[in-house]
Each structure stands twice: as C-alpha cells, then as structure tokens.
Amino acid sequence: MKDRRFIFRLLVCIFLVIMFFIVLKASQKKTIITFGMFAGSNWDVPYSNSYEIIDNAIKRFEEKNPGVEVKYVNGIMKEDYSEWLSSELLKGTAPDVFMILPEDFNTLSNVGAMENLNKLIQKDKEFDKNKYYNTSYKFGQYEENQFALPYESVPTMMFVNKTLLENEGIQMPSNNWTFDEFYKICKEVTKDTDNDGIIDQFGYYDYTWEDAIYSNGVTLFNEDGTKSYFGDKKVEEAVSFIQKLDKLNNGYRVTSKDFDDGKVAFHPLLFSEYTTYKTYPWKIKKYSGFEWDCIKLPAGENGENISEVTTLLMGINSKTKKEQLAWEFLKTLTYDEDVQKEIFKYSQGVSVLKNVTNSEEVIEELSKSTPNGSYIDMTLLNEIMESGIVSPRFRKYNSVMDMADNMINQAINDEDDNLSYLLSKLQREVNNILRN
C-alpha cells in the first residue's frame, strides 16, 4: 500500500514538473511579426548595405519589446518585389508590415491591401505628423486617407557641369533661374567643338515635359482623379518649351554617357544619384575631370523652381492580427530619429524627418561621404524637400500618365506644330478613361 502511495506521489510530482516546463516554455514563446522588403536600393544606384538599416531597426524594436521577434524574407530583388508581394497578398500570407514601391501605392491602396492608418494615428498621442516633410508624408495619402508612412525620400535636382560653363564663359545660374535663361545657356553651349560638322556638346540631357510642367504652375488632375487638364494653356507652354529645346540637338539623342564624358551642361537627377556621384567621384573624374554642382530646376513664366519628390513607403497589412505591434514597428522604421539618421549613413536618400535631415550629426556624416571639398547645401536640400511636387494618388494615374507620356513624347519627336489640338484630344481621351 505504501509502495502504491509512493508511486502515485512520484507520478504526480513528475506530472507537475512536466507541466511546469510546458507552461514555462509556452510563456517564453515569442510573438512573431513579419516584415517584407526587397534587396538593394529603391533608387537604382550602387547599394551594398540594403539590410543594415533594417537589421538595426529590428534590434532596437526587439529590445524595446521583450518577447517580440521580427522576421523577414531576404533576397527578393526590386524587379521581382511587386509580383512577390501581390502573390503573398492573394494567398493571405503577406507580411504584417511591408515596403511599398511608389508605382504600387495607388493600386495597393485601392484594393484594400493596406491598413488605413487614420485611427492608429489619432489614437497615438505621441505621434506628430508635422515632424515629417509634408511632401514625404503626403506621398502615403490616398483619397485623403493615410495608408502608409514615408521611410526615405529623394528630390529631383539639376546637375550643372560647372567646368563646361566656365570654359564657355557662362556664369553659374541662380536657384531662381527661368525657362528663358535655361534655353539661352543651352543654345549657347550646343555646338560642334572639333569642327567635324557634327554637334558634340549639348545643353541638357533627360529634362522631360513632366519636369517642365511641374515648374510651370500646372495641375494635371483634380484631387479625386476624375478630371484632367492636359488642355491647359500652361501645359502647352511647357511642352512647347521642350520642343524648342529638343530642336537645338538637330535630331541627336543625348545619352548619359555624353553627360559622364563632360559634354552636357545640365541633367536633372535624383538626390540618390547626387550622393552616388559624390561618393564615387572616379566615375566622372576618370573620363572627364569636370567639376559640377546642383541647383533647382528652372521655372516657367507661370510657375516656381520646384520639382518632384519621390518617396519609399512602409505600410501595414490590412489582414494583420497584430495591428498595434505592427504600428509600433512601422514607427520604429519611419519615425525613430536614430533609425532615420542611418538613411544618410547606409542609403542614398533623404530622411523623411526634418529634425534628422537638419541635425549637425547628419551634416557631418554627409561631409564625410562627399570628399574633395564638396558639400551639400542643406538650405537648398530643405527648400526642395519642402516645396516638392507629389504625384497624384488615384487608381488610374499610372495608366493614363503612360498614355500621356507616349502621345506627348511622340509630338515632341515629330515636332508637331498643332500642340493645342493634340493636348485637347489627349485631355478628352484621358477624361473618358477617368470617368469609366
């Protein structure tokens, strides 16, 4: 009898010990949230530290949230990312938080793939949207709702070949220069320098009709994307200006190599390309040795010296079961100043937080990455970021702009004299698409 009692008690003790360890293990089980991103740079420039910022952000987040682990899939290339994310969303296995390519934002917002952040923002008393550059923050808005937060921005700036202008006896343009000044300089520098009968020096490369309309006071669409204004006189003026510039080259299509070889005076480029050129000066120095700097884009008669700002976004899966944790992680990536400072260290964009971009620490970091006495004019950078243009946010934007780009570029290449008719026709066709 005693032996039975002993065995029974022993079994109870063993059972209790087993249950203790089961409960202990269960209590130690981590809560997992998932994150989706692509490898490499969003801005298509050399970038070997694509995971550095994210890894550091995850570490900070996990330290602040014991028992939480962030997992992400790595190795997805940018060119494959849209397809991968779409597939995961369709299967219901998309990450809790994910990167959003600029070209995918309108579609993902429209189909309900992303959480509407309005309630989370309103509930979070510590969150202040005014800490962001307004252009960057607006990039994540669709139909007046905030569907994503900005992670990294790049404004468009005008590269100027200072050496070429100096050799031609031309003064560096100011930041409030105009279309007329731009054309005058382009006309003066476009020439045959070796007298072989072929033009080999050019005014500009890759300055587009979109660049021109942005700085000529043009609004192409109404706010809800139901009506376009391609027939506006200011659109015609901007496109006509591009035609006028294009004629200077006598049919020659200027290339990026021409610019790298020091044969082009002006070239609009993203800030990411600015930092890449500054970081790798040999790319230019090896072949040409020209000195260069950046200014604002020229302004039309009806506009200002402004240009487009593009932003890489982060959003929350609308199907997530860990909404609050996803929100906190999203803020770590986009709102944490220490994480955002690393944008300037490991990436080629601009932090979306004004305090970060203007900090002494960041200015010092940028001076390290721009050798040979070069420096970035932070006042200029801030002005461009503050006044930048954000492309419209509606579902059919990408498709109608592709259509418009084809028609307008064809008119430019064909030197079409009947721009007014063509643009009115384009407006009718676009409006018909937008209404249906």
Residue 237 pLDDT class (50, 70, 90 cuts) = very high
Q: Could you tell me the pLDDT band of residue 364, with boundaries at 50, 70 and 90?
A: confident
Same domain, 213 and 358: no
User: Considering the chain, what percentage of its residues have pLDDT values greater than 70?
Assistant: 85
Identify whether residues 293 and 359 lie together within a single domain. Answer: no
Which tokens go with 370?
């721009």
Burial of 183 (0-12, 13-18, 19+ CB in 10 A): middle
- Report d(CA 339, CA 133) in Å as an integer: 16
Asked if 127 and 36 sit in the same domain, the reply is: yes
pLDDT computed for residue 281 by the predictor: 44
Does residue 369 have a pLDDT over 60? no
- Nearest CA to 332 out of 55, 123, 111, 21 is that of 55
- Give 282's pLDDT tier (boundaries 50, 70, 90): very low
Between the CA atoms of 371, 374, 376 and 380, what dihedral angle is there, to the nearest 10 degrees?
-170
**Helix 337-346, helix 323-334: angle, nearest 10:** 50
CATH of the domain at 362: 3.40.190.10
Cβ neighbours, 10 Å, residue 401 = 17
Residue 273 or residue 196, greater confidence: 196
The amino acid that residue 172 corresponds to is: M
Strands 149-161 and 264-270: antiparallel
- For 53, phi then psi, to 5°, come to -65, -45
Q: Which residue range(s) make up the domain with 249?
A: 155-308+393-435
In a domain, 3, yes or no: no
The answer for 160, left when phi > 0, alpha when psi is -120 to 50, beta otherwise, is: beta
- Is the domain of 149 the same as that of 159? no
Segment 105-159, tens digit of pLDDT: 999 999 999 999 999 999 999 999 999 999 999 999 998 899 999 999 999 999 9
Q: Percent of the chain at pLDDT above 90?
A: 67
Could you tell me the pLDDT band of residue 273, with boundaries at 50, 70 and 90? confident
Residues 133 and 231 in one domain: no
Domains of the chain: total: 2
Q: What's residue 121's pLDDT?
A: 97
Statement to judge: residues 59 and 148 lie in one domain: yes
Whole-angstrom distance, CA of residue 70 vs CA of residue 328: 12
Query: Do 156 and 306 touch, CB atoms closer than 8 A?
Result: no
Q: Is the pLDDT of residue 287 over 50?
A: no
- Co-location of 116 and 94 in the same domain: yes
- pTM attached to this predicted model: 0.85
Q: How high is the pLDDT of residue 12?
A: 54
Query: Do residues 246 and 131 both lie within one domain?
Result: no
Quick check: helix, strand or coil at residue 18?
Answer: helix
Confidence at residue 130, expressed as pLDDT on a 0 to 100 scale: 97
